[in-house]
Amino acid sequence: MSIISKSLDKIKPSPTLQVTQKARELRAAGKDIIGLGAGEPDFDTPENIKQAAIKAINTGQTKYTTVDGIPSLKEAIQTKFKRENDLNYTLEQITVGTGAKQVLYNALVSTLNNLDEVIIPAPYWVSYPDMTLLAGGIPRIVSTRQNNNFKITPKELESAITKKTKWIILNSPSNPTGMCYSNDELLKLSKVLLDYPNIWVMTDDIYEHIIYDEKKFSTIASVENKLYNRTLTINGVSKAYAMTGWRIGYAGGPKDLIKAIAKVQSQSTSNPTSISQYAAIEALTGSQDFIKNTVNEFRVRRDFVVNKINKISGLSCKIPNGAFYIYVNCKDCIKKKTKGGKLINSDSDFVSSMLEEANVAAVQGLAFGMEPYFRISYATSHDLLVKAMGRIEEFCNNLS
Ligand code: PLP
């Protein structure tokens, strides 16, 4: 009899973390691997934020804190929500966790009853379905269409709704597609949701600041005020401030839900790291120039990669509006043979052959719930991107 819980049979380890790990291992074994799998900015955390953390250590802010965040961080988050999203939350409506990931997970654990359904548009961030399953819910995956920029339409949303639907998860700009919902698109989705008062919205806004081409970021609770009382607006400092390792995420939402999230946290991890909380205050209240500079750099890389991909035989992609990913369509490479003699039957085969034969790591579309695609992260230096694109081109040119 296995010691491992049956509930773990339903889930898989994070495929993106697995790809990163595999690339790391191959590199350690001496292979010249270029990793385009990772979901984190390659920039260093800004100096002012590091200094705030050092100051926190030196002034003894190294003990347990309030379970779901110190009041001064909650105040900084409150101001951020008001300033950037026109959302008003009291401090009791704000929670801080160990990354947006923990906030999402705690929210699902504290709300799902057995077999409640969660609508998840695909392609999706890899963790949503597995977190739902772990929390005892049922992911209801809704495939979107590439020609609608991978965004769920009001009609698709409505046809996925059942009596058991508890949540819909929205993620804009999206991981893995980089696509972004406009104000008008959110308004149209809201219209459907207003007819179903028992459905809640979890909006994952972690890529809010990484947005291009003068696109305006919108979040559903401020687009449709009538949904404010049943929306959890999730965000964090990981992506905007290159702080993935610091592990600070947060959310604003109705008081009862926020209290329930804190309850789960109080019996699992307790507070997010005290030092990181002080660093996050500086991130949210200090100079925001870092964001402007990095977004400019990301945009240059996006343009380069999109251009290159669309010139490679067998591959194509849309121009993403945000985040730092490109979701590449590889359907014209399926059923072809690699130079090394491997038959490509799926995007997983494509990605593993590309790693073996071209030394480039990317993540298969299967992991994000829509095939045949693969995800490239361009959060790496321009020089490496040039090299990687050359290798991918050669790999594709050698397919027959
Ligand atoms: N949500 C999405 C869509 C992500 O891509 C990620 C990280 O990859 C997260 C949440 C997790 O963010 P955090 O580092 O705050 O846990």
Give the pLDDT band (50/70/90) at residue 378. very high
Angle between helices 15-28 and 347-358 (to 10 degrees): 20
The predicted pLDDT at position 322 comes to 98
Cβ of 174 less than 6 Å from ligand 1: no
Q: Residue range 314-326: average pLDDT?
A: 97
Give the pLDDT band (50/70/90) at residue 168. very high
The predicted pLDDT at position 62 comes to 98
For residue 103, the ligand 1 atom closest to its alpha carbon is: 16
Give the pLDDT band (50/70/90) at residue 11. confident
The predicted pLDDT at position 20 comes to 78
Cβ of 100 less than 6 Å from ligand 1: yes
Residue with CA nearest ligand 1 atom 5: 175
Q: For the chain, what percentages of helix, strand and coil (3-state, to nearest 5) are there? A: 45, 15, 40
pLDDT of 1 above 80: no
Contact 176, 379 (CB under 8 A): no
The continuous run of DSSP H or E covering 262 comes out as helix 255-266
pLDDT of 228 above 80: yes
Contact 93, 258 (CB under 8 A): yes
Q: In what order do the strands lie in the sheet with 325-329?
A: 325-329, 373-377, 363-364
Substitution site in 104, 206, 219, 363 for ligand 1 pocket (most atoms within 8 Å of beta carbon): 206
pLDDT tens string 117-133: 999 999 999 999 999 99
Tokens of 288: 């925001």
pLDDT of 15 above 80: no
pLDDT tens string 250-302: 999 999 999 999 999 999 999 999 999 999 999 999 999 999 999 999 999 99
Q: Is 108 exposed, middle or buried (0-12, 13-18, 19+ CB in 10 A)?
A: buried
- Please tell me the distance from the alpha carbon of residue 143 to that of residue 150, in angstroms, as a whole number: 8
Substitution site in 207, 235, 239, 368 for ligand 1 pocket (most atoms within 8 Å of beta carbon): 239
**CA nearest 15: which of 142, 103, 127, 141?**
127
- Displacement of CA 126 from its chain's centroid (Å): 8
Q: What is the pTM of this model?
A: 0.97
Angle between helices 274-285 and 47-58 (to 10 degrees): 140
The predicted pLDDT at position 7 comes to 81
The predicted pLDDT at position 9 comes to 83
pLDDT of 385 above 80: yes
pLDDT of 44 above 90: yes
Tokens of 153: 């339409």
Percent of the chain with pLDDT over 70: 100
Give the pLDDT band (50/70/90) at residue 13. confident
By DSSP bridging, strand 231-236 and strand 200-204 are parallel
**207 CA from centroid of ligand 1 (Å):** 8
Give the pLDDT band (50/70/90) at residue 24. confident
Q: Is 19 exposed, middle or buried (0-12, 13-18, 19+ CB in 10 A)?
A: buried
pLDDT tens string 326-376: 999 999 999 999 999 999 999 999 999 999 999 999 999 999 999 999 999
Residue type, 246: W
399 DSSP 8-state letter? -
For residue 244, the ligand 1 atom closest to its alpha carbon is: 14
Cβ of 101 less than 6 Å from ligand 1: yes
Using omega within 30 degrees of 0 as the cis cutoff, is the peptide bond preceding 173 cis? yes
Task: Give me the phi and psi of 232, to 5 degrees please.
Answer: -105, 115
The predicted pLDDT at position 190 comes to 98
Tokens of 60: 């003894």
Give the pLDDT band (50/70/90) at residue 56. very high
- The DSSP bridge partners found for residue 361 are 35
The predicted pLDDT at position 369 comes to 96
- Displacement of CA 312 from its chain's centroid (Å): 27
Give the pLDDT band (50/70/90) at residue 175. very high
Cβ of 15 less than 6 Å from ligand 1: no
Q: Residue range 224-251: average pLDDT?
A: 98
Tokens of 80: 């951020």
